[in-house]
Each structure stands twice: as structure tokens, then as C-alpha cells.
Structure 1
Amino acid sequence: MQSATSPLQTLLDLINETLSLILRTSLTVRSFAGRWQPLRTKLASLQTSVADISDSPHWAENPLLYTLLPNLLSTLQRLKALADQCNDTSFTGGKLHMQSDLDMAAASLTNQLRDLDLLLRSGVLHQSNAIVLSHPGPGSDKENLSFFIRDLFTRLQIGGVEFKKKALESLLQLLEDDDKAATLVAKEGNVAYLIHLLDFHNQPWVREQAASAVSLLAASNDESRKAVFEEGGLGPLLRLLESGTTTLKEKAAIAVEALTADPENAWAVSAYGGVSVLIESIRSGTPATQTHSVGAIRNVADVEEIKAALGEEGAVPVLLQLLLSGTITAQEKSANCLAILASTDEYFRALIIQERGLQRLMHLIQDLLSSETLEHVLRAIASLSASEPCARVLSSSTLFLIQLAEFIKQGNSILQQISVSLLSNLSISISDGNKRAISSCMGSLVKLMESPKPVGLQESASQALVSLLTVRSNRKELVRDEKSVMRLIQMLDPRNEAVSHKFPVMLISAILAGGSQGCRKRLAVAGAHPHLQKLAEMEVAGAKKALQRLSGNRLKTIFSLTWRE
């Protein structure tokens, strides 16, 4: 009874009455019959939509209809007046003016039909709680949450400024409070409309709220990120990053970094001209914008066409500067990006060297960087060491080599692996003085030889050790280290399948190369002889030669005892 006498019911009755009059009148119009034919089709669709609203159990509770129905009635009344004029033989109005009036009325009717259709499809007119946009609690089931999202997007698309404001606030609260909500928003909501607001809404706060929502969706999970990308989000986000407010740029940078984390999306950055936008954001943006923009560049740095653009747009000096002045996270991403570029392209290695990048990277190692940043810095240095001039600089820097030795001794597993590989590559050029300076890492190198993974670590550690053992004092130092000697003997054991036997054999040969009786004695006492003898019988490379070196004094001792007897 309440709904039957409500203002909304009165409006609906007037709409139905006016609709019937227009449909009857439009059948007999004498002027502009061609324009009235598509209008009749729209009016018939409207009649169906209005009937569907009447049949919805809770239609009178929905606040959106308080705006929609008066606007619709106004459009219909205008159309009724136009239909009467088109039927009036005495009408002397201008032809062009009438055409314009009919076109504008048709456009309004189309928009209102779309809004009604959206409202009906959302299902909110069938829910008694549609009158209040209440935030679902933590225990809400999927059905209630889905309804909330549909209701929210309906208000966002159809409602006025206040409806949009409240809908966006509720959407942001939902995305921030519930990690799983993004997937449902991508499925039940209209992500395309959110993206539309980034470019076309004239209210700055609406664009900011929409940018925050898109940013959260892009960064939440694979499904919601895919929805943002497939609905065309990357282009508007890059435009915001280029010319938006400070807040908009930061939100856009977060979203662009998240979108480019998917390799399948990387190509689109160049399609939108995004490389120059990202580089400029690093050059002049806030710390937050810089951090996420360099993250986006890192994500796409190995795409061929984007690498070319990075070189042309001057990315290298910008990345090197950020490596010195950016936040900790920005430094890590910048170092990662430089490592990627240096590892894949001689052109970029030359650019980095030209910009004195090697010296900057070496200097950074002395700073208190995070382990992740150090890893990327070392990877970049390792790639640059492929250049002979860079290798000479690195192998002659005592300070750098000492730091490398410290990483081998005390770094995490990744730092150790990179450092061992780099030391192995540089070892042929390191002076005896520098080899003595880093002898303290030999025990750690022996220990790393026991590690079967990653592939290549045992070989790199062996090669580095063999190089260090060309110095006499280093050989003596190593054999005095009981733990290292025992590890070496254990690796020599033919039953030990964790290590390729050629590597410990190489070390035995290197230790004995100087002919020191003390080294022979320590290795013999530790039990090297039977293992080497067995390996020689197995024809392991170098085992016979090592056995001969180890057995030299042993044979002399046997002959001496026999003579005396």
C-alpha cells in the first residue's frame, strides 16, 4: 500500500500514460516519419523496461529511481510535444530545428534506456536491502558480496555526484579490506567504466578515486589485473602518469608496474608510447612514482622493441642516477634493470661503461644496500666484466676483490654464487698481491665446492681456488685449515657422488704444484693417497699426476727404510 501511493508510483503511472499517448500519436505523424520509426522501437523497449520495474518486488526502495524516473518523464513529455507538432498540419517551425530537437530527445531516451537496463540487469531491484549501500561484513558469503558489488557499480554508473562519491568510497574500502574481493569485482563489476572515469570525468576527486580503485585491481591478483588490461586500462594509466596530478601519477605508476608484471602485456607499453613517459617519471617524479615507474621498465626491459626505445630515450643515465639517489626499493629495481640490459646486449654494456656505470656500481657495493640490490648490482658488474677493459679494472681493484671475498664468506647463497662466478672469471688477471689479500675466502670456496646446485657452482669455486693457489703462502694457508682439508679429502672419496671428482683432484694438484713437503705431508696424513690411487685406477682426469706428486716423498721414504734394513 505504501508503494502504491508513493511519489515513485505516481511517476511510474505518469510515465506509462505518456508512453501510451506517444506510441499512438507516433503512428500517425505526418512529418519526419523516418525519424519516428527508430524512436518507436526505443519507446517499445522502454515500455517493457518500465513493466519490468513494476514487477520487481523492491523497486520502490531503490534511491536511484528518484533521479531516473523524473528525468525519464521529462524526456517523454518533450517527445509527446514533438509528436503533436509533427502531427499538426499548421506547424510552421523550422525543419532543421525540429530535426535537432528530435535527435536530442532520442539521445536522452537512449541514455535513459541504457540506465534502466543496467539497473534491471544488476538485480538490485529484487533485494530488500538495496535502499542502503551497507558494506558487507567479514563473514559475508559470495552471494551477498556479489550483490553489493552490482549495486555499487549500478549507483556508480547511473547515479549523480553523491551516488558516485559514496560508491567509489565503498569500492575502495572493499578492495582495501578484503584481498579476495578484487576477483569478484573483476567478474561482477564494470571495470571498463572505472577506466572510462580516468579519462573523461570532470570531477578531479572522481578521477583520483577511480585511479585508486584501478590501481588496487591491477595490483591484487592475476584475474583482476587481466581485467584491467583487457578493458584497455594501460593507455589511460600512461596518460595519467604523463599529465595527471601528483596523486594520480603515483596511483597510475603502481598500476602500470602491476600490469607490466605480466609478460603478455609488456608489448603494449611501446604501442602506447609508454617508454618515454616512464623515463620522464623516473627523472622528475616523486619517490613513489620513480619507484614504480622503474619497476615497470624493469618488467619490460627484455622486450626487443622496448630495449631499442630505452636506448634512444636515454634510459641508462636516468637508471644510474636513480641507483645513487633513489629509495631502497628504487635502487633495487634500477640495479635489476641495469643487470637485465647489460646481460642481453653489447650496446647497453657500452652505454653503461660510457656513463661511468662500472665505477658507480663498484662504489655502491661499499654502501649499506639491501641484499637484493647487491645481487642485482653484482649481476650487472658480472655482465660488464665480459668487456676486457672492465675486467682489468675489476681485477686490479683490491677494495672490490676484498668485498667480493666477504660476500663469498658471509653473503647469502645468491650473493655467494654470483661472487664465486665473478671471481672465477676475473682470476686469470688478478695479481699475486691481490690473491694474498683475499685468501681468507678459500675455506668458503672449498665448502661451496660441496654444493651440487646450482649447476656450475662447483666448477667456478674450483677454478677460483686453483687460481688463488698459484701463490705459495695461500697453499700453506689452505692446508693448515683442518676443516677445509677434511672437506677436500671427503670430496676425493670415490664413493662421494655429490661432487665431480675432477674438481678436488684439480685442487690437490694445485696445492702440490709448488713441491712443498709440508703440504704433501698434511694431505697424506689426512688420507688423500688411497683415494687418489683409486681415482687414478678409475682414470679420473688429473688423478695420476696428482698421485705422482703426492707419492714423491713417500717413495723416497720407502726406499730409505729398505736400504737401512
Structure 2
Amino acid sequence: MHSPPPPPPSPTQAAENDAVAPLQPLLDLITNILSLLLLSSLTVRSFVGRWQILRTKLVSLQSSLSSISDSPHWSENPLLHTLLPSLLSTLQRLKALSDQCTLSSFTGGKLLMQSDLDIANTSLSNHLHDLDLLLRSGVLHQSNAIVLSQPGPGSHKQDLVLFIRDIFTRLQIGGVEFKKKALESLLQLLKDDDKSAAVVAKEGNVGYLISLLDFHHQSSIREQAVLALSIIVSANDESRKIVFEEGGLGPLLRILETGSMPLKEKAAIGVEAITTDPENAWAISAYGGVSVLIEAFRSGTALTQSHAVGAIRNIAAVEDIKAALAEEGAVPVLVQSLTSSSNLAQENAADCIATLAASGEYFRLLIIQERGLQRLMHLIQDSTSSIVTVENALLAISSLSLSDSAARILSSTTSFIIQLGEFIKRGNVLLQQVSSSLLGNLSISDGNKRAVASCMGSLIKLMECPKPVGLQEAATDAVLSLLTVRSNRKELVRDEKSVMRLMQMLDPKNEALNKKFPVMVTAAVLGGGSNGCRKRLVAAGAYQHLQKLAETEVPGAKKVLQRLAGNRLKNIFSRTWRE
């Protein structure tokens, strides 16, 4: 009993197995059949209009085949081992049809013949497209064109461009195995050379790469394509614009909605990157993307959640989308993200909450109702939080503090007030400015003001900083708030460095600083009428500086000077009476 014959290899497998098989006899056979078809297309008696269209394409095909045979290394390209047999099959089928159409009387079914001619016409168009793509790529002019080697880091840009074109040629023309290997080469290039993504976006066919996200493609191909797109779209503004203009956002959102978990993770990266550009972010609503992003957070992995929240953060800045965020339940999702195990998710969520809280009382109340304020306060005191997360959380708290209910909670939470003092002493400039602003604006109890008295020296120092805009005013307001407590006034004047800095700021020779700020602080120090505070300021030179400032009519200087002078005269008269 004979065993059944093995199944014939697929076109792609045949191309790989016969990569070195001679192609010249095959090309000669194709050329002969093509010549016969060009002649018979002039003598057909049936369906003349359709054959005129076919003849135009046959002439183009003859030109393409001539260009291929003129290329020095055409026979080394593995794609032709797939293309030429398929082309031969189409031409043989077309020759059989032409024989029927040249008969004096056509006796077959007209509808069937029309259908067969249309199918052959479509196949011929596809062959022409593939051959044209192969010719334009330039790879047929390279030796060893079976697979071009990946250019090294120091290679010429033209070598990189040629390699990219070769990848996309194999990607578009080849079968499944060619596509997989082309995608592997593309991903290896993107991984090894972080600058190559911008060149791929410009020189490769991004639109075709996007088309591989369709669900009729194998999952492995789709996964590789999504990963490649997520890298390309994250490269720079230009590559992000190209992917968006080629229609990448919609397919990425579909993957994010219905794809497997690995696909969703990569799609979320791409969606976040595209929406980084405000001009692209608005398009999310056109695809129903708000609900997709929210659901991706609810059901996704930690990585998917992080980038989904990042995309929500990006679109939250678009005014028209804010209403949709509220309707779709984005606020509970964002507040929940603050407790995520992912630092990136916490960072993005806090940033988004800050944006929404700054947009109006409606969102502030929603966030407070979801206990977002308490979670934000926990974040800024959590030692595991990243510095960016802390910054975003504090900005969100600052916006929420505009709501009366939030302001009451913040003002009465001693641990929060103490944390503000720590930020003022040891934080970066952003944390110092926001913390100063909060200390100056909240209605803090005297006990809490005494608890953060140690940050007054840092606040005085911040008053000397002209940048960023608003820092001097915020620091001044915070100092003025703390100086309403008598013990804090005494503590400030006992700090020689702070008093010296205050005098330097009052000095008229120091023209870089707005004098109203140190004048206000000096007035606050004298506000309680403490003779000890007055003496220290006079001894440090405040009287002379204020005299000059009063002469130049600096606001408030004359009044503070009168306090200093009034106290001096009062003490003189008191001493004379006792004597």
C-alpha cells in the first residue's frame, strides 16, 4: 500500500526552499506568453472593451518585467520566487480566455466570461502593484538582496533607508512567513536604534503597517505590528503626526477594546502617544474612545491601566471632551488609579485630576465625593511615590482647595500642614511654590502655624527668588500667615540669617527685588508691638532702609517706619518719666 504523496509546499515555503533556483527560464516563459497575449488582445472579437483595459495593463507588465531583467541582482530576491509563478498562472488563465474571445462566434456564458475577465484583471493589477513596489524599493540593484543586513549604528542614512524599504517591500508582497520575518527585522531595528523610528515613519509605508491591525490577520502578525506602531508613534512629533494622519488612532482603539491582553498593552501605549498632541486628542470622541479607555483601565493589566490613564490625562485638556469624561464615569476610575501599584498610573491619574479640578467646581465636587482628596493627601506623604507623582498630587490638592469643603479638611489636617512645611524646606521649586501658596491661602490654626514655624527661614529665602513667576508673592503670603502667631514672630527675628536676608531685600541698593514684599513682612513682625522684635530690626538696619524707601514712596514703607519711630519716641519718653 502506497503512502499518500506529501502536500505541495505553499508559495512562501517554495520561495524559501528554492531561493537559489534559477528564475530565468520562468521569466522567459512569462515573456513568451505575454507576447502572445499582446497580439491576441488586438484580434479579440468578444468583450473588446474589457480587453482594451487588459491590454493597457499587459503593456505596463511588459515594461516592469523588462526593468526587472535589467536589474543586476534580480534573481537573488526571494520575493520573485513567489511573484513569478503566481504571475505565470494568471497569464496562462488569461491566455485561455483570449483563445475563447478570438473565435468568430462566442458560444459560452457571457456573464461567466465577464466574471472571469474581471477576476483576471484584478489579479493582473495586484501583480503590477507588487512588481512596481519591488522596483521602486531599489533592492533589486543590491547584491545579496535575499535579505539585506541591518545597518550598524555608524552606517550611512541611505543604507538605513534602503533596509527599511526592503522590509516594507517584503512585508507588503510576501506571504505570512515573509511578513513575520519582515516584522521581526523591523522590530529589531527599532529596538537597536532609537533614532530609526523617525526614519521608518518617513520612509516606510505606515499605512500598510496600520492595515495589519485588522482582525483577519494572524494574531502574531497583529501583535508585532501593534508593537512596531507603538514604538514609531512614541518617537517624536513628526512620526506621531504621520501615524495619526494615516488613520492609526481608530485601529489602535479597536485593538484596545477587543484585542488580547498583550495587544491591549501595546495599543494603549500607541493611543497615549497619539493623544499627547492636543490636535489629535479631540479625535478620541469621534471613535467613542472615552468609554474604551475607561473600560481598558477597569479590565486591563497594570501596564494597560497606566497608559489608558495617560491617554485620559491627555484628552482631559480638551474642553469638548470633559463632559464626556464625567458622563462615562472617568472620575471614579482616576481616583481608583491613585491607589494603583504602578507609579506611572498614579502619576498620570494625579496629573489628570489636577487638570479636571482646575476646570471648575463641578469636577472638584465629583473628585471630593469619591474621596480623591484623601487619596491625594496620602500620596504626597507616601515615601514610595515618585517625585512627579507628588508634584501632580500637590497641584491637584491646590486646585481642590478652591472648594470650601476641601479647604476645611486641608486646614484642619495637621499632618498635611507639616508636610507642606517639609516641602518648603526640602522640596524642589515647584513643591515649594505650591506649598507656600497653600500655607498662605488656607485658614490654619495657631497650633498648626507653630508646628511649621521652622520653614519660615526657607520662605524668607524664597522671597529672594524672581523665578518662577509668583514664587515671591506665594512665599510672602505664607510668611505673613505664620507671623500672625506671636511666638513665630519672635522665632523669626532670632534667626540671624533670615533677618539679614530681610535687610538685604529692604536695601534700596538691591533694585532686583520688589520692595513691597519685604516691607509687608517687616510690618507683620512689628504687628504685635514686641519691643524685642523692634530692637532687633532696628539694630539690623531696618530704620535706615525704610527711611529711604519712604522717601521714594514705596507702598507701606512710611507706615512701617512710623511704627519703628513711634516705638523709639515712646521708649525715650518712658525712660525720662521714670528718671
TM category (shorter chain) comes to over 0.9
- CA drift of 1:91 comes to 5.3
Match of residue 444 from structure 2:
430
Find the aligned partners of 1:52 and 1:326 in 2 and give their Cα distance: 59
Pick the aligned partner of 2:314 from 288, 296, 299.
299
**CA-to-partner distance for each residue in 1:31-90, whole Å, 9 max, x for gaps?**
222222211111111111111111112111211111111110110000000111122356
1:206 aligns with 2:221: yes
Pick the aligned partner of 1:349 from 360, 364, 367.
364
- CA drift of 1:195 comes to 0.6
Pick the aligned partner of 1:414 from 422, 430, 433.
430
Find the aligned partners of 1:44 and 1:23 in 2 and give their Cα distance: 8
**CA-to-partner distance for each residue in 1:206-243, whole Å, 9 max, x for gaps?**
11111111111111122222221111111111111111
Which shifted more, 135-144 or 323-332?
135-144
- CA drift of 1:303 comes to 0.5
**CA-to-partner distance for each residue in 1:257-284, whole Å, 9 max, x for gaps?**
1111122211111112111111111111
SS in structure 1 opposite 2:358? helix
- CA drift of 1:332 comes to 0.6
Find the aligned partners of 1:230 and 1:553 in 2 and give their Cα distance: 74
Match of residue 6 from structure 2:
none
Pick the aligned partner of 1:234 from 246, 249, 256.
249
Match of residue 186 from structure 1:
201
1:276 aligns with 2:280: no
Find the aligned partners of 1:24 and 1:453 in 2 and give their Cα distance: 82
Find the aligned partners of 1:363 and 1:60 in 2 and give their Cα distance: 68
Q: How many residues align?
A: 559
Which shifted more, 549-558 or 393-402?
549-558
Find the aligned partners of 1:63 and 1:295 in 2 and give their Cα distance: 43
Pick the aligned partner of 1:397 from 385, 390, 413.
413
Find the aligned partners of 2:513 and 2:408 in 1 and give their Cα distance: 32
Find the aligned partners of 2:460 and 2:115 in 1 and give their Cα distance: 88
Greater helix percent: which structure? Answer: 1
- CA drift of 1:362 comes to 2.1
- CA drift of 1:560 comes to 7.3
Match of residue 5 from structure 2:
none
Match of residue 529 from structure 1:
543
Q: Call closer, same or farther: CA 1:418–1:67 in 2, change over 3 Å.
A: same
- CA drift of 1:498 comes to 2.8
Pick the aligned partner of 2:456 from 442, 446, 466.
442
* 1:315-326 to 2 correspondences below 5 Å: 315-326=330-341
Match of residue 262 from structure 2:
247
Match of residue 568 from structure 2:
554
Which shifted more, 193-202 or 36-45?
193-202
- CA drift of 1:562 comes to 8.2
Find the aligned partners of 2:527 and 2:164 in 1 and give their Cα distance: 77
Find the aligned partners of 1:149 and 1:396 in 2 and give their Cα distance: 62
Q: Which amino acid aligns with 2:404?
A: E
Q: Which amino acid aligns with 1:472?
A: R
1:40 aligns with 2:55: yes
Aligned residues with identical type, % of pairs: 74
Structure 1: tracts of 5 or more residues without a match:
none
Find the aligned partners of 1:94 and 1:276 in 2 and give their Cα distance: 53
Match of residue 511 from structure 1:
525
1:13 aligns with 2:28: yes
1:67 aligns with 2:116: no
Pick the aligned partner of 2:504 from 490, 495, 506.
490
Find the aligned partners of 2:344 and 2:285 in 1 and give their Cα distance: 24
- CA drift of 1:556 comes to 4.4
Match of residue 375 from structure 1:
391
SS in structure 2 opposite 1:365? helix
Find the aligned partners of 1:113 and 1:20 in 2 and give their Cα distance: 16
Q: Call closer, same or farther: CA 1:187–1:250 in 2, change over 3 Å.
A: same
Find the aligned partners of 1:93 and 1:7 in 2 and give their Cα distance: 39
Q: Which amino acid aligns with 2:432?
A: Q
Pick the aligned partner of 1:95 from 91, 94, 110.
110
**CA-to-partner distance for each residue in 1:326-371, whole Å, 9 max, x for gaps?**
4111101100000011112322112112222222222333212222
Find the aligned partners of 2:374 and 2:146 in 1 and give their Cα distance: 66
Q: CA RMSD in A?
A: 1.9
Find the aligned partners of 1:34 and 1:482 in 2 and give their Cα distance: 101
**CA-to-partner distance for each residue in 1:362-390, whole Å, 9 max, x for gaps?**
23332122221111111111111111222
Match of residue 492 from structure 2:
478
Mapped contact 1:450–1:498 kept (Cα < 8 A): no
- CA drift of 1:548 comes to 2.0
Match of residue 156 from structure 2:
141
1:51 aligns with 2:51: no
TM-score by structure 2 length? Answer: 0.93
Match of residue 10 from structure 2:
none
Match of residue 340 from structure 1:
355
Q: Which amino acid aligns with 1:414?
A: L
**CA-to-partner distance for each residue in 1:182-220, whole Å, 9 max, x for gaps?**
222122211111111111552111111111111111111
Find the aligned partners of 1:563 and 1:132 in 2 and give their Cα distance: 107
Mapped contact 2:46–2:106 kept (Cα < 8 A): no
Find the aligned partners of 1:210 and 1:178 in 2 and give their Cα distance: 18
Q: Which amino acid aligns with 1:527?
A: G
**CA-to-partner distance for each residue in 1:79-120, whole Å, 9 max, x for gaps?**
000111122356543222222211211111111111011111
SS in structure 1 opposite 2:213? helix
- CA drift of 1:9 comes to 1.0
- CA drift of 1:499 comes to 2.2
Find the aligned partners of 2:307 and 2:192 in 1 and give their Cα distance: 23
Find the aligned partners of 2:280 and 2:184 in 1 and give their Cα distance: 29
**CA-to-partner distance for each residue in 1:162-187, whole Å, 9 max, x for gaps?**
22121111111111111221222122
Mapped contact 2:73–2:141 kept (Cα < 8 A): yes
Q: Which amino acid aligns with 1:366?
A: Q
Mapped contact 1:136–1:145 kept (Cα < 8 A): yes
- CA drift of 1:561 comes to 8.1
Structure 2: tracts of 5 or more residues without a match:
1-19
Mapped contact 2:440–2:480 kept (Cα < 8 A): no
1:465 aligns with 2:479: yes
Find the aligned partners of 2:444 and 2:282 in 1 and give their Cα distance: 43
TM-score by structure 1 length? Answer: 0.95
- CA drift of 1:557 comes to 5.2
- CA drift of 1:564 comes to 11
Q: Which amino acid aligns with 1:122?
A: S
Mapped contact 2:506–2:545 kept (Cα < 8 A): yes
Find the aligned partners of 1:414 and 1:295 in 2 and give their Cα distance: 21
Q: Which amino acid aligns with 2:84?
A: L
Which shifted more, 514-523 or 551-560?
551-560
Match of residue 386 from structure 1:
402
Pick the aligned partner of 1:115 from 127, 130, 149.
130
Find the aligned partners of 1:140 and 1:129 in 2 and give their Cα distance: 18
Find the aligned partners of 1:245 and 1:514 in 2 and give their Cα distance: 69
Match of residue 14 from structure 2:
none
